[in-house]
Amino acid sequence: NAGVTQTPKFQVLKTGQSMTLQCAQDMNHEYMSWYRQDPGMGLRLIHYSVGAGITDQGEVPNGYNVSRSTTEDFPLRLLSAAPSQTSVYFCASRLLMGDTEAFFGQGTRLTVV
């Protein structure tokens, strides 16, 4: 039981490049989400999904796309990277109903130059 697995752990991009951050969970959680963490800003929700085929925007969705084709996977796509997207990204998952713990991946440190 691996929990929530994110790849890559580190990434450097040039402005304008695109890339996909991968997130997979093996706990059969319906709810998956992506957060970005910036110094002094806490964790801010980018996009979330309540099940396969269903996604929605969070607090800071601009510049990011997501899709959810399976229960297990929830990739985050940066369409055209900008320096403002330099951040640490965390994927998290939990059961959909009830007050349940959110489990986080190990994070991806992204630098856009």
Partner 1 sequence: GENVEQHPSTLSVQEGDSAVIKCTYSDSASNYFPWYKQELGKRPQLIIDIRSNVGEKKDQRIAVTLNKTAKHFSLHITETQPEDSAVYFCAASKGGGADGLTFGKGTHLIIQP
Interface ranges with partner 1 (CB under 8 A): 31, 33, 35, 40-45, 48, 50, 56, 58-59, 90, 95-102, 104-107
Minimum CB distance to partner 1, residue 4 (Å):
8
Q: Which residue, 38 or 80, is less far from partner 1 as judged by CB?
A: 38
Name residue, tokens 């996009």: 47
> Under a CB-based contact definition with an 8 Å cutoff, are residues 69 and 99 in contact?
no
Minimal distance in Å, beta carbon 72 to partner 1?
Answer: 18
* Phi, psi angle pair for 84, to nearest 5°: -65, -10
* Nearest CB to partner 1, comparing residues 13 and 29: 29
Smallest distance, partner 1 to C-beta of residue 16, A: 29
- Give yes or no for a contact between 72 and 24, defined as CB atoms under 8 angstroms apart: yes
Distant-in-sequence, close-in-space partners of 80: CB < 8 Å, separation ≥ 6:
16, 17, 18, 63
Of 5 and 17, the one with the shorter C-beta distance to partner 1 is 5
